Structure 1
Amino acid sequence: MSTLEIRDLQVSVKLPEGDLKPILAGVDLTVKSGETHAIMGPNGSGKSTLAYSIAGHPKYEITGGTVTLDGDNVLDMTVDERARAGLFLAMQYPVEVPGVSVANFLRTAKTAVDGQAPKLRTWAGELRGAMEKLQMDPAFAQRNVNEGFSGGEKKRHEIMQLELLKPKMAILDETDSGLDIDALRIVSEGVNRVRETGETGLLLITHYTRILRYIQPDFVHVFVAGKIVQEGGPELAEQLEAEGYERYVGTRV
């Protein structure tokens, strides 16, 4: 059982002129293995800032609070140390990596996270199996990472990483963004396979409830103006779908 604890997290973004703009205003959240937490809120509320701050993006400066994984201080770790500790981020806009094939990228990542290279024969089977489950052409493994990928291919690749790397905690930043109905179903099935192992805690960031119809969260958190303003179960997502975020917009931070 692993636990990600976020306490009074305060984060500012570095502006081009060098000033700091406060974004997160004291976030408290606990995610445990096997749990699925949905973070929902309007545009500009700080949801992605939360994701990238936990992952260690240099654009964001931690100005207060703590983040721990199994008692270890995440904020003292470098980005690669966070990954080896068991944190995973599926990005909303995955970047292209020209000259690096999907197969090489995934094996290198697996080696870095596990501390040893996977056996080639076993790894080839795992990679092939993961691609089949996500309905990906085997030739995909030889393409350069995210180069020329469609939106659906990028998101399937992110979920393939999730399934193969088996992190303790996974943050999925708007994984449903840009997906058609078929791709959304396939991606959601991949996330649910990870859920069913009970070994990974999931923090699912989204604007809409459509992905939550495929991936039922245990907890829903409403995120407005840089903090969580309401919490509940799956029924809260349906309430948000019906009523929107209007009644939260005036919430004071």
Structure 2
Amino acid sequence: MSKLEIKDLRVSVETEDGPKEILKGVTLTIDSGQVHAIMGPNGSGKSTLAYSIAGHPKYDITGGSVTLDGQDVLSMTVDERARAGLFLAMQYPVEVPGVSVANFLRTAKTAVDGEAPKLRTWVKDVNAAMVQAGLDPTFSQRNVNEGFSGGEKKRHEIAQLELLDPKVAVLDETDSGLDIDALKVVSDGVNRFAEDDDKAVLLITHYTRILRYIKPDFVHVFVAGRIADEGGAELADQLEAEGYDKYVRAAV
């Protein structure tokens, strides 16, 4: 069983006017077998939390801690975080011209596991992951994210999730730009991952539509760099009906 613990996390970014604090003391514990959804308006700090956990150099940790199974995540390099069991699905996956999906996936799997997967079984695993993500197996010969539609990029990340098999999946607006068919495929992939009691999911989203397919155990409302409210899945329904206005007004 794994545990991701975030305690009083404070994060700043450099702006033209100097450092600006984005996260202002976030505390959150995610245990194996749980799906946590973070919702909130634009600019509330949701993506900052995701990228700070993953180790993006843009974000300056000014206070607090992040641990995974008792290990200090913030002292780890990005690759060490991946090997420890963290996975980030980005809101805007980047293109990597000249690198095929097949080579990217095998290199990533080798880096995470510390040894190269056996080629014969690996090809079968990749093809199966592609099919489950609603992608043709020939997709693996294309360059990473180059010319991909929004849906293809997000389905590719679900294939990565399947193959890399992390402990904790941090999914930053993985529903962004998806039509209803792609949304269902992506949601099915997340649900397959979350069915394993040894896995945990931190799902960041603006909208409740993905939560119709992925049932969260906990919902956290992010406003102005803090958690403004917490509850079960019913809180998402409340947000759908009432919006974030009362939380935004209270934070002013």
TM-score tier after normalising by the smaller chain length: over 0.9
Partner of 2:216: 217
Partner of 2:150: 151
Partner of 1:229: 228
Partner of 2:87: 88
Q: How far apart in 2 are the matches of 1:80 and 1:180?
A: 32
Q: How far apart in 2 are the matches of 1:115 and 1:234?
A: 38
Q: What TM-score, normalized to structure 2?
A: 0.98
Q: How far apart in 2 are the matches of 1:18 and 1:123?
A: 50
Is the CA contact 1:224–1:251 (under 8 Å) kept in the aligned structure 2? no
Does 2:148 correspond to 1:172? no
Is the CA contact 1:34–1:195 (under 8 Å) kept in the aligned structure 2? yes
Aligned-residue CA RMSD in angstroms? 1.0
Number of aligned residues: 252
Written as runs of structure 1 = structure 2, the 5 A alignment for 1:89-238 is: 89-238=88-237
Aligned amino acid, residue 53 of structure 2: I
Q: Residues 91-120 of structure 1: CA distance to partner in whole angstroms, max 9, x if unpaired?
A: 000000010000000010000000011101
Runs of 4+ in structure 1 off by over 4 angstroms are: none
Partner of 2:11: 11
Q: How far apart in 1 are the matches of 2:77 and 2:83?
A: 10
Q: How far apart in 1 are the matches of 2:236 and 2:2?
A: 26
Identity percentage of aligned residues: 76
Partner of 1:75: 74
Does 2:56 correspond to 1:57? yes
Q: How far apart in 1 are the matches of 2:72 and 2:250?
A: 31
- Segments of 5+ residues of structure 2 without an aligned counterpart are none
Deviation at 1:18, TM superposition (A): 7.3
Partner of 2:43: 44
Q: How far apart in 2 are the matches of 1:247 and 1:207?
A: 16
Q: Residues 63-122 of structure 1: CA distance to partner in whole angstroms, max 9, x if unpaired?
A: 000000000100001111111111100000000001000000001000000001110111
Q: Residues 194-244 of structure 1: CA distance to partner in whole angstroms, max 9, x if unpaired?
A: 011222110000000000000000000001000101110000000000000
Is the CA contact 1:90–1:172 (under 8 Å) kept in the aligned structure 2? yes
Is the CA contact 2:223–2:251 (under 8 Å) kept in the aligned structure 1? no
Does 2:217 correspond to 1:251? no
Partner of 2:2: 2
Q: What TM-score, normalized to structure 1?
A: 0.98
Deviation at 1:169, TM superposition (A): 0.7
Partner of 2:65: 66
Identify if the C-alpha distance between structure 1 residues 224 and 50 changes in structure 2 by more than 3 Å, giving closer, same or farther.
Answer: same
Q: How far apart in 2 are the matches of 1:138 and 1:63?
A: 44
Aligned amino acid, residue 225 of structure 1: A
Q: How far apart in 2 are the matches of 1:26 and 1:107?
A: 38
